[in-house]
Chains A and B, each alone.
Chain A
């Protein structure tokens, strides 16, 4: 019995909690990508850099707040800085739309031109963030580290395995759930949200019914930018901020959006968790977990790891490729975008 409990705790500690947190972060990013895809009809390669930009603004705000002696202990100051970062990211995104994307949008160029343009913006913003804040790794989480620490957990329960639950993990999950709830309430219940869905479903019909496309596009950028700033900040708070890593995050996010069916918000969330759980589950060595569950004589020799951790990012590419080749409309999607 105790062995079983130990196994459960071990699995929760190393698999479920990290994967859930990571899944929330990926899902928020994928929601932004999928939203832009359904309204503007192109894959935004600059989304990872928007997340990076938002996180950079968060860090600057955190430094400012810390200098002014303002904090919301035991929570991380980053949460307090979030609104500033969201506002700045929205402003920058709307400006890029005004100065860059709109030119192509009103000319109705092929999606691939938009993709190349977004790659140009990716270049621009990755250079900008690295120039302004520098390419180094930065840790800006200043809240209380643990809600439950592994040691405390062991003492309380008397189990051999500890389980830790970090404040940033809790914050990630709570903020993500709140965002998703708000987004779905907006899309399903409000008039503006319905307008947006109508526009995404059938542009011509929406235009005929007097929907202002500019307004819908602005709104889509606003939401995508907010989600990017939030996702970026949560990821950076939970792990750390390094511009290079944010560039690499683009692929898990695309994988999540595609697995869920581009343009499908629910799918993006499901995709986010699929990617996160696959990444964590396939690179976790199961040796210790199995040792609790099988009799001692069956002890495994190897680490029981499916893939080396070096292949962590490759897993999302595999998911992406497999989904693209077998079900290009996504695992949940019906409509071909």
Chain B
């Protein structure tokens, strides 16, 4: 019961923080923060599934976010017909070559009985031939695609489906990538796994950033369709003008808040569903098995549990959730900007959320997502305000004062680092710790 109290208490504090921000700053700021809190909570849940349930270190959160974000573009953007006719065939042939090469490699590696050295040579030869063939087909095809109206398209476009369909495609795509990554990397010991996933996420983001034919790269995809109404339509709708008048709000300002609330109304059910699924999974026999594997791999293995398979499943599930978060973020932004994927924001910040909330506890992960995103956003104005106060004595002309105020936004990195270190040291199990040693009735 005590635990429940503290959980309710902590979420109440979070709500109060948001309300206080609304009173001090503005309700528009609060709705912006709220939406990102919801998305952060989902990403944090994903990391919690991997680390909290199973003890798998994924420092590649950024990569799965980017894959999820890319899925939005591939689903929602209209297809570019000219680009397809210019290079679609080349891309298809390239995909075929890659598929054949992979199949050939697998056959050689698995089926053929050759000496190791010879096998390596054959594999190398297959890869070389594939690369040579790809150079002939893939390069010209991508060039042709990127030449199609480069300022507006220059890429293949997407499927032209409703944008919300991407919330199903993104987790599937992220899960597929995670399956490949997990297949290869999960055998590594913990801190090698951390480095490997970190490296893989950088490769994924580099690909997303540079393969213009697929994602437009750093040219960004802007103006993605929106699942919520547009401000301009709202402002002209009679019912909305009445609603705003009824609430005593200016129409313009209220329309932006209303749009953000529409997004929140889309995000909250997703989070609730994920939460329900995660909680039932964690409290099911499957969840108990996960914890058993995490806490003592050898014993669990001796009990006949297939550790490799279990790890792979949980890694894929977590990545799917992270991918969904990435897709929701791009949907909210209405644009896909590959250069915005930075490890500090998309990997380590999410980790901080999960650890501070309480790893192994879904409620903790969600609370961490809310709280840390709030701090991350509010650390900037708070830092400016604090520095302004502290350096007021220096006078308006002081160079030091200007320098400090200009760089105040960097303080949030410092604050986050300190918060993480303090929590790790004094309450390593987080704000809402995992329930341990629970009885059957609990």
Q: A: which residues have CB within 8 A of B?
A: 42-43, 100, 103, 110-113, 115-117, 119-128, 130-132, 134-135, 247, 251, 254-255, 258, 308, 310-311, 313-314, 317-318, 320-321, 324-325, 328
Query: Is B412 touching A111 in the complex (CB atoms < 8 A)?
Result: no
Query: Is A135 touching B420 in the complex (CB atoms < 8 A)?
Result: no
B164 part of interface (Cβ distance < 8 Å): no
Query: Is A120 touching B206 in the complex (CB atoms < 8 A)?
Result: no
Query: Is A321 touching B417 in the complex (CB atoms < 8 A)?
Result: no
Contact of B421 among A117, A247, A311 (CB under 8 A): A117
15 new A-B pairs (CB below 8 Å) besides A117-B424, A123-B416, A130-B407?
A: A100-B421, A115-B194, A116-B424, A123-B352, A124-B414, A124-B418, A131-B404, A254-B199, A308-B210, A310-B210, A314-B202, A314-B203, A314-B206, A317-B202, A324-B192
Query: Is B344 touching A123 in the complex (CB atoms < 8 A)?
Result: yes
CA distance A223 to B343 in the complex (A): 28
B188 part of interface (Cβ distance < 8 Å): yes
B98 part of interface (Cβ distance < 8 Å): no
CB of B207 to closest CB in A, whole Å: 8
Listed by A's residue number, 29 A-B pairs whose Cβ atoms lie within 8 Å are A110-B190, A112-B190, A112-B194, A115-B190, A115-B194, A119-B59, A119-B348, A122-B348, A123-B413, A123-B414, A127-B413, A127-B415, A130-B410, A131-B404, A131-B407, A131-B408, A132-B407, A134-B407, A251-B198, A254-B199, A255-B199, A310-B210, A317-B199, A317-B203, A317-B206, A324-B188, A324-B195, A325-B196, A328-B192
Known interface pairs A120-B420, A313-B206, A321-B196; A127-B410 also in contact (CB < 8 Å): yes
Contacts of B210 in A (CB 8 A): 308, 310-311
Q: State how many residues of chain B have any CB contact under 8 Å with chain A.
A: 44
CA distance A328 to B404 in the complex (A): 45
CB of B53 to closest CB in A, whole Å: 15
Query: Is A121 touching B190 in the complex (CB atoms < 8 A)?
Result: no
Contacts of B2 in A (CB 8 A): none
CA distance A111 to B189 in the complex (A): 10
CA distance A314 to B63 in the complex (A): 13
CA distance A313 to B206 in the complex (A): 9
Contacts of A320 in B (CB 8 A): 195-196, 199
B209 part of interface (Cβ distance < 8 Å): yes
B113 part of interface (Cβ distance < 8 Å): no
Taking CB as reference atom, which chain B residue is nearest A119?
B348
B57 part of interface (Cβ distance < 8 Å): yes
Known interface pairs A110-B190, A115-B194, A120-B424; A127-B412 also in contact (CB < 8 Å): yes
Q: Is the interface of A mostly helix, strand, loop or mixed?
A: helix
Q: Is the interface of B mostly helix, strand, loop or mixed?
A: helix
Q: Mark B396-415, 1 if CB is under 8 A from A, else 0.
A: 00000001101110111111
B185 part of interface (Cβ distance < 8 Å): yes
Those 10 A-B pairs whose CB atoms lie nearest each other, nearest first: A127-B413, A124-B417, A123-B417, A127-B414, A120-B420, A130-B410, A317-B199, A131-B410, A112-B190, A314-B206
Contacts of A128 in B (CB 8 A): 413-414
CA distance A122 to B420 in the complex (A): 11
Q: Which B179-194 residues have C-beta < 8 A from chain A?
A: 184-185, 188, 190-192, 194
Contact of B203 among A117, A124, A318 (CB under 8 A): A318
Query: Is A131 touching B414 in the complex (CB atoms < 8 A)?
Result: yes
CA distance A84 to B335 in the complex (A): 47
Contacts of A135 in B (CB 8 A): 407, 410
Contacts of A120 in B (CB 8 A): 352, 417, 420-421, 424
Contacts of B418 in A (CB 8 A): 124
CA distance A49 to B202 in the complex (A): 18
CA distance A121 to B344 in the complex (A): 12
B213 part of interface (Cβ distance < 8 Å): no
B5 part of interface (Cβ distance < 8 Å): no
Q: Which B201-221 residues have C-beta < 8 A from chain A?
A: 202-203, 206-207, 209-210
Query: Is A115 touching B191 in the complex (CB atoms < 8 A)?
Result: yes
CB of A98 to closest CB in B, whole Å: 13
CA distance A121 to B209 in the complex (A): 28
Taking CB as reference atom, which chain A residue is nearest B347?
A119
